[in-house]
Structure formats: C-alpha cells, structure tokens
Amino acid sequence: MNKNIGIIGCGWLGLPLAISLISNGYKIHGSTTSEEKVETLKKEGIIPFLIALSENCIEGSIADFLKGIEILVINVPPKLRGPSKENYVKKMQLLHTEMKRANVKKVIFISSTSVYGDIEGEVTEETVPIPSTASGKQLLSSENIFSADSSLKTTIIRFGGLIGPNRHPITILSGKQGLSNGNSPINLIHLNDCIQIIEGVISHSWWNQLFNGVYPDHPTKQHYYTLIAAKKGLQAPDYKIDKLKKGKLIRSKSLINVKKFKFTTSV
C-alpha cells in the first residue's frame, strides 16, 4: 500500500493525527493556513503546505500537496459564525475537482453529528439526517460530493462533540443560567478515540463506510456538566428540565457492533 497520506487541516485534531500516523510509518503531507505554523509541522516530521480553501479558489500549491497521495483526510469544518460566513459546499467542490486531477483514490471526510439536526430519540448510521443548522446542511451536502463519486473510496465519520486537551464544552457552559435540554443525553468523543477511529479506517481498509463517532456513555447534560464543573472547580451551569423533550442519543452502531471497535478514553 502507498503510505502517503494528506491531511487538509492540521489543527486540534489534524496535527496529533499526523504525528500518530508518522509514528506508524506513514509519510504525511499536512496543510495549514498559518505561515507561523509551517515550522511547527516541519518539526513534527510533517511535509508542510500553506493552503487556504475559499469559495472561488484554492490558494497555495494544492497540486504539489496532492501529488502521490493515496488517502486524503479532509478535516476542515465550515466557518459559518460571525460576519465571515462562507459557502462550504463550493470549497469542497473545488477540492474534489483538484483531487480528481491528482488521481486521489481514497477519502476520509470528517463530518459532524450536527447533520442529524433536532431528531429525537436514538440515532444510528441508518437514521436519515434532517439538518436544522446551516453548518449541518452544508456538511451533509459536502459528504454527498465525495460519497456520490463512484471512482472514490469514501468513508465519512460523523463525530460528536469533541473534547480533549484545552477543549471542553464546560468552559463555555460554566455559570450559565436557564439552559434548555438538561434532560437530553450528551454525545461526546475524546481526541484519542477520534484518532484511533481514523487510523482504524486506514489500517483495516474500512472504505465506503459511514460511521458515527460518539463515546457510548450518555448521561444527561445536567448530571454530566454538574459533575465536570465540580471536578474542574468551575461553577455548574443551570439547566431547565423539560421532561417531555428527550433529545437525541447517538449510537456508534457500525463501529461497535460491526467493526468491534473499542473506545478507550472516557468523556
């Protein structure tokens, strides 16, 4: 197997993923939009490329980045907050065109469980997504760009809320009052498991698959965030309890039941 992998987006997830893959003998092309970060990538053994995706063009040497790459990991979330909203789908269409030109054969598209929208109850990979946010809608459309291309082997991973070093929802929720959905279950996943799932796709050739990536324990938001706040010495958020609203509970059915994947890091 060609051991050359490209990672578009070497940020909070992409950088440690690249480092882990390098330790397993892979050669990594990694992209960043920050000139300052180029040296960081280089020091970690990543071949760095300064690349910025936009709706109308791709800045940087995308052809050189994709040259010789067999597997491309697309790890670029939509930017839909604040004044600089973008058409994420157009960005992915441009990237898809460049991939075809470079003859990339396999894609891992990092998506989100936000594509399921406000569905109530248990959610598996068989659940039909009904996205309710702009981000969820654009992610679902972008998933389809790659999965609909029969010449590509595409695996989509829909991660739940990401936690890990310097990243946890409690830092934003601490002290907030009157929050809704206190009775709804959490759907989180730790960085360590994100990396192991992606590496599992690569090492076991889990291609043309769809996976939900969510840790299998689902306490209610009120119980969980009260506990985490106490552990971190923060003020607990205050939730309103709506017993009629059960929220969505996302199962990683394909990973756990079919692939026998074992989550290793509790949330």
- Mean pLDDT computed over 132-155: 96
- Residue 56 CB contacts under 8 Å (≥ 6 apart), including other chains: 90
The pLDDT of 107-132, averaged and rounded, is 96
* Average confidence (pLDDT) over 148-176: 96
* Interval 99-115: pLDDT, tens: 999 999 999 999 999 99
Rounded distance, CA 79 to CA 60, Å?
Answer: 19
- As assigned by CATH, the class of the 4-162+188-215+248-258 domain is alpha beta
Average pLDDT over residues 111-127: 96
**pLDDT over threshold 90, residue 240:** no
Q: Using the predicted structure, report yes or no on whether residue 80 has a pLDDT greater than 90.
A: no
Banded model confidence at residue 79, pLDDT cuts 50, 70, 90: confident
Scanning 44-126, the segments in alpha helix (DSSP H) are: 62-66, 88-102
State how far the Cα of 242 lies from the Cα of 100, in Å rounded to an integer. Answer: 49
Report residue 199's pLDDT band, with 50, 70 and 90 as the boundaries. very high
**What's residue 7's pLDDT?**
98
Query: Is the per-residue pLDDT at 133 higher than 90?
Result: yes
How does pLDDT run across 57-71, given as a tens digit for each residue? 999 999 999 999 999
| pLDDT score for 1 | 57
Q: Does 185 score more than 80 pLDDT?
A: yes
What average pLDDT does this structure show over 81-104?
89
Q: What is the mean pLDDT of the chain?
A: 95
Query: What pLDDT, on the 0 to 100 scale, is given for residue 85?
Result: 72
**Residue 82 scores a pLDDT above 80:** no
Half-sphere exposure of 15 (CA within 13 A, CB side): 12
Instruction: Report in angstroms the alpha-carbon separations of 79 from 32, 74, 89, 144, 212.
Output: 15, 15, 11, 19, 22
For the segment 257-261, the average pLDDT, to the nearest whole number, is 96
Is a pLDDT exceeding 70 seen at residue 184?
A: yes
Task: Enter the pTM of the model.
Answer: 0.95
Residue 17: pLDDT over 90: yes
Query: Which range, of 80-84, 103-107, 112-116, 159-163, averages the lowest pLDDT?
Result: 80-84
